[in-house]
C-alpha cells in the first residue's frame, strides 16, 4: 500500500478521552507488508500524542483477515480509542470501524478497613503476653507477632500520609505475616488517633479486613473495633486492570532514571503486580508518566528464585530530537519472592547524561584518559615515542631539541613500553639534562669577571681617597 502526503496520510482519533489528535501524519511511503504499515501508524500516533501532551499511548496490530487494530495501552473504564477520522481513515479502517470499550475497572471502588474503638496509646509489648493477634485480609488469615519493646503510638501506627510514608511496626508485622499471598495492608490512625488497618491489595465489595483475636488485639484495637466494608466494583491487585494512577492496581513500585541519546534524563517507573497464579508477578513501566508498557511476566519457583530469562527489552517513542525509539533492557536478575516487605536492595543503570571534560591523565603506556563531569571517562588518544639507530648522530638544535641526520638514521616510531622504547612517568618533573661541564665553566667565567670588576672599583676608590688627602 502507498501512503501519499497530503492525500491519504492523516489519522484523527481520541485516546483515553484525550483531545483529538490531528497531527498523526504518516508521510509518503510504500509499505510492502501490513505489519510494516501497522508499525508506522503506531509510531505516528504515539508521536502525535506526546506532542499534544497526552498521557495515553497505543499499540497497532494486525488482526485476523489482515485488519488493522488500534488498542489503548491503558485498561479499565477510562480506556478508549474512538472518533477515527482523517484522510487515511477510510482506506485503512473502513468507513465504520468497530469500537470495543475498556473493561470495568476499580475507579469508583473503596477498600475495606478495620478501625480501633479506642485511641491508640503508647504500649509495652511483652513476648508471650500481649504480642500476637490475628487479622483476616481479603480472606487470608495473618497470624501476626509484634516484636517485644516499648512503643509510642506513632511507632506502632506509622504515618502513611507522610511524604515519604512512615511505615509503623504493626503494618510491617501484618504484611510479613501475609507473606506472598498477594494481600497487604496500610496502617495508620484516623483524626481521633484510633488505629486504622486498610486493605491495600483490593477494593470494592470483595475487599475485607476483620479481627480474629489475639493477645494484643484489645490493647491495639479496643474491645469493639469497627469493620468498614469496601464499596464499588470488586477489584483485586494482580488483575488485568492495572493503572499507574490507581495505587490499588499494583502491589509495589520503584523508579529509575534513564537517558536518551542526547543525555536528557527520563523517569522510568516500574510497577509490580502480584497475580493470583501462585508465584507469578506482572511488571509494567511508564516513561515520564506516559506510554504504559506491559505486562512483563515474572515467574518465581517455590524457593522464591526468579526463573524468567533476562534481560527484557523495552522501547518508548520520543519526540525531543533524540534517537527514537528509546530502547533499553530491564534485568531483574537476583530478584526474589520471600515473605518480607517489598524492598529494593540494588538499582543500577548504565546510561549517563552529558558531561564536560574536567581532567586529563596520562598513563605509563602513553594513553591519554579524559574524565568528564558526569563520572564517565574515555580514551582520547596515545602518545608516540621514536628511537634512532644512532642517537649520537642526531644534530643538536639547542634547547633540548634534536634533528634527524643521515648518521642518526630515520626515526622508528612506537608506543611507550613497546620493544626497546621506555615508558612515561606522568605528573613528574624531569631531572636536569644540561651539560654540567659547560655550565661550570660559565659559572667560573662569571665569577672571574665579578672579581675583576670588584678590583677595578677598589682601585678607583683608592685613587679618589688619595686625591682627597692631597688637599
Is the per-residue pLDDT at 104 higher than 60?
A: no
Write the pLDDT tens digit of every residue in 153-183. 999 999 887 767 788 999 999 988 988 676 7
Residues 260, 320 contacting (CB under 8 angstroms):
yes
Q: Pick the residue with more confidence: 108 or 232?
A: 232
- Look at residue 369 and tell me if it is in a domain: yes
**What distance lies between CA 329 and its chain's CA centroid?**
11
Place of cell 474512538: 82
CA–CA distance, 240 with 449 (Å, rounded to integer): 101
Q: Is 440 helix (H, G, I), strand (E, B) or coil?
A: helix
Asked whether residue 285 falls in the same domain as residue 390, the answer is no
- Flag whether the pTM goes above 0.85: no
Asked whether residue 253 falls in the same domain as residue 325, the answer is yes
CA distances to 145, 147, 157, 345 from 127, rounded to whole Å, are 9, 7, 19, 30
Domains of the chain: total: 4
What's the DSSP call for residue 223?
A: S
Question: Minimum mean pLDDT among 145-159, 282-296, 375-389: which range?
Answer: 282-296
- Look at residue 100 and tell me if it is in a domain: no
Question: What residues make up the domain containing 326?
Answer: 247-330
CA–CA distance, 285 with 297 (Å, rounded to integer): 12
Pairing of strands 166-167, 185-189: unpaired
- Look at residue 154 and tell me if it is in a domain: yes
CA–CA distance, 369 with 359 (Å, rounded to integer): 8
Is the per-residue pLDDT at 239 higher than 60?
A: no
Write the pLDDT tens digit of every residue in 174-215. 988 988 676 788 899 998 999 999 987 676 777 889 999 999
- Look at residue 460 and tell me if it is in a domain: no
Asked whether residue 224 falls in the same domain as residue 152, the answer is yes
Place of cell 497497532: 60
Is the per-residue pLDDT at 390 higher than 80?
A: yes
Write the pLDDT tens digit of every residue in 267-276. 999 998 887 6
Confidence of residue 149 (pLDDT cuts 50, 70, 90): very high
Residue finishing a domain among 330, 365, 382: 330
Write the pLDDT tens digit of every residue in 115-129. 999 999 999 999 999
Question: Which CATH number fits the domain that encloses residue 260?
Answer: 2.60.98.20
Confidence of residue 84 (pLDDT cuts 50, 70, 90): low
The pLDDT value given to residue 100: 56
Identify which of 22, 3, 169 has the alpha carbon closest to the alpha carbon of residue 92. 3
Asked whether residue 74 falls in the same domain as residue 55, the answer is yes
Residues 348, 329 contacting (CB under 8 angstroms):
no
- Look at residue 336 and tell me if it is in a domain: no
Residue finishing a domain among 185, 208, 236: 236
Asked whether residue 314 falls in the same domain as residue 293, the answer is yes
Asked whether residue 79 falls in the same domain as residue 127, the answer is no
What's the DSSP call for residue 104?
A: P
Phi and psi torsions of 33, nearest 5°: -130, 155
294 exposure class (CB count in 10 Å sphere: 0-12, 13-18, 19+) = middle
- Look at residue 231 and tell me if it is in a domain: yes
CA–CA distance, 103 with 235 (Å, rounded to integer): 12
Report the mean per-residue pLDDT for the chain: 82
Asked whether residue 204 falls in the same domain as residue 302, the answer is no
Asked whether residue 143 falls in the same domain as residue 222, the answer is yes
Is the per-residue pLDDT at 46 higher than 50?
A: yes
Asked whether residue 209 falls in the same domain as residue 321, the answer is no
Phi and psi torsions of 464, nearest 5°: -65, -40
Residue finishing a domain among 191, 213, 236: 236
CA–CA distance, 291 with 285 (Å, rounded to integer): 8
Average pLDDT over residues 439-462: 83
CA–CA distance, 421 with 414 (Å, rounded to integer): 7
Non-local (6+) Cβ contacts of 138 within 8 A are 112, 183, 199, 201, 202, 206, 207, 208, 209, 236
Compute the chain's Rg from CA coordinates.
Answer: 39
Asked whether residue 259 falls in the same domain as residue 326, the answer is yes
Per-position DSSP letters for 259-323, written without gaps between them = E-TT--EEEEEEEEEE-SSSSEEEEEEEETTEEEEEEEEEEB-TTSBB-S-S-EEEEE---SSS-
Bridge partners of 254?
270
Asked whether residue 141 falls in the same domain as residue 228, the answer is yes
Place of cell 503506531: 42
Is the per-residue pLDDT at 227 higher than 90?
A: yes
- Look at residue 427 and tell me if it is in a domain: no
Asked whether residue 227 falls in the same domain as residue 294, the answer is no
Write the pLDDT tens digit of every residue in 23-36. 677 778 887 788 88
- Look at residue 262 and tell me if it is in a domain: yes
Amino acid at each position: 500500500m502507498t501512503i501519499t502526503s497530503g492525500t491519504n496520510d492523516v489519522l484523527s482519533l481520541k485516546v483515553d478521552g484525550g483531545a483529538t489528535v490531528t497531527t498523526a501524519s504518516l508521510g509518503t511511503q510504500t509499505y510492502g507488508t501490513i505489519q510494516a504499515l501497522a508499525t508506522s501508524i503506531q509510531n505516528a500516533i504515539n508521536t502525535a500524542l506526546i506532542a499534544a501532551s497526552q498521557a495515553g499511548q497505543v499499540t497497532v496490530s494486525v488482526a485476523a483477515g489482515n485488519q488493522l487494530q488500534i488498542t489503548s495501552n491503558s485498561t479499565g473504564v477510562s480506556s478508549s480509542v474512538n472518533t477515527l477520522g482523517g484522510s487515511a481513515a477510510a482506506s485503512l479502517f473502513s468507513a465504520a470501524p468497530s469500537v470495543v470499550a475498556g473493561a470495568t475497572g476499580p475507579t469508583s471502588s473503596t477498600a475495606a478497613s478495620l478501625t480501633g474503638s479506642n485511641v491508640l496509646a503508647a504500649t509495652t509489648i511483652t513476648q508471650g503476653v500481649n504480642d500476637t493477634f490475628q487479622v483476616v485480609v481479603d480472606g487470608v488469615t495473618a497470624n501476626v507477632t509484634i516484636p517485644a519493646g516499648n512503643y509510642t503510638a506513632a511507632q506502632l501506627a506509622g504515618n502513611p500520609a507522610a511524604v515519604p510514608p512512615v511505615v509503623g511496626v504493626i503494618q510491617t508485622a501484618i504484611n510479613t505475616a501475609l507473606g506472598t499471598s498477594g494481600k497487604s495492608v496500610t496502617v495508620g490512625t484516623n483524626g481521633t488517633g484510633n488505629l486504622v488497618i486498610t486493605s491495600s491489595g483490593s477494593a470494592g465489595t470483595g475487599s475485607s479486613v476483620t479481627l480474629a483475636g489475639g493477645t494484643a488485639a484489645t490493647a491495639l484495637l479496643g474491645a469493639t473495633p469497627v469493620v468498614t466494608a469496601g464499596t464499588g466494583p470488586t477489584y483485586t491487585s494482580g488483575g488485568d486492570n492495572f493503572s499507574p494512577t490507581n495505587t490499588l492496581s499494583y502491589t509495589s513500585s520503584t523508579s529509575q532514571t534513564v537517558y536518551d541519546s542526547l543525555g536528557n534524563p527520563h523517569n522510568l517507573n516500574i510497577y509490580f503486580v502480584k497475580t493470583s497464579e501462585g508465584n507469578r508477578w506482572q511488571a509494567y513501566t511508564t516513561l515520564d508518566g506516559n506510554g504504559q508498557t506491559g505486562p512483563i511476566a515474572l515467574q518465581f519457583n517455590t524457593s522464591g528464585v526468579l526463573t524468567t530469562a533476562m534481560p527484557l527489552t523495552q522501547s518508548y517513542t520520543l519526540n525531543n530530537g533524540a534517537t527514537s525509539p528509546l530502547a533499553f533492557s530491564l534485568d531483574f536478575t537476583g530478584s526474589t519472592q520471600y515473605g518480607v516487605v517489598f524492598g529494593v536492595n540494588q538499582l543500577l543503570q548504565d546510561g549517563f547524561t552529558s558531561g564536560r571534560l574536567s581532567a586529563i591523565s596520562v598513563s605509563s603506556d602513553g594513553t591519554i584518559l579524559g574524565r568528564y563531569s558526569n563520572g564517565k571517562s574515555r580514551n582520547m588518544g596515545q602518545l608516540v615515542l621514536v628511537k634512532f639507530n644512532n642517537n649520537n648522530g642526531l644534530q643538536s638544535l639547542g634547547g633540548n631539541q634534536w634533528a634527524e641526520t643521515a648518521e642518526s638514521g630515520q626515526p622508528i616510531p612506537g608506543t611507550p613500553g613497546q620493544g626497546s622504547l621506555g615508558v612515561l612517568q606522568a605528573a613528574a618533573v624531569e631531572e636536569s639534562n644540561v651539560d654540567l661541564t659547560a655550565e661550570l665553566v660559565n659559572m667560573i667565567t662569571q665569577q672571574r669577571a665579578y672579581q675583576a670588576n670588584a678590583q677595578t672599583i677598589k682601585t678607583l676608590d683608592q685613587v679618589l681617597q688619595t686625591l682627597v688627602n692631597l688637599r
